């Protein structure tokens, strides 16, 4: 699963630390999502989308491999 978290976060002038504090997770979690090492749970994905004021589908994009 791809994501645009880094681009959208930077567009909102938020640091990883600031975003982490807003969604009550560690900075490592934000880094691992941005690097696509980790796919967040639905509640965290919704929280991120709400904080960044976008739709979840704009933040996380399904790839062909996700259907297999």
Site residues (CB under 8 A) for other proteins? Answer: 20, 24-29, 31-32, 35, 37-38, 40-41, 44
Minimum gap (Å) between residue 31 Cβ and other proteins:
5
- Alpha carbon 60 to chain centroid distance? 7
Which is closer to other proteins, CB of 60 or CB of 64?
Answer: 60
Q: Write the DSSP assignment of 27-44 as a string of letters.
A: HHHHHHHHTTS-PPPHHH
Minimum gap (Å) between residue 56 Cβ and other proteins:
16
> Which residue, among 27, 19, 68, has the nearest Cα to 48 in the 3D structure?
19
Which residue is associated with the tokens 């934000």? 30
Which is closer to other proteins, CB of 36 or CB of 64?
Answer: 36
């Amino acid at each position: 699963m791809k994501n645009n978290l880094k681009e959208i976060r930077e567009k909102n002038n938020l640091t990883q630390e600031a975003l982490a504090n807003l969604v009550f997770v560690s900075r490592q979690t934000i880094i691992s999502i941005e690097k696509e090492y980790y796919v967040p749970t639905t509640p965290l994905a919704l929280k991120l989308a709400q904080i960044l004021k976008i739709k979840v589908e704009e933040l996380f994009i399904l790839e062909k491999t996700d259907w297999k």
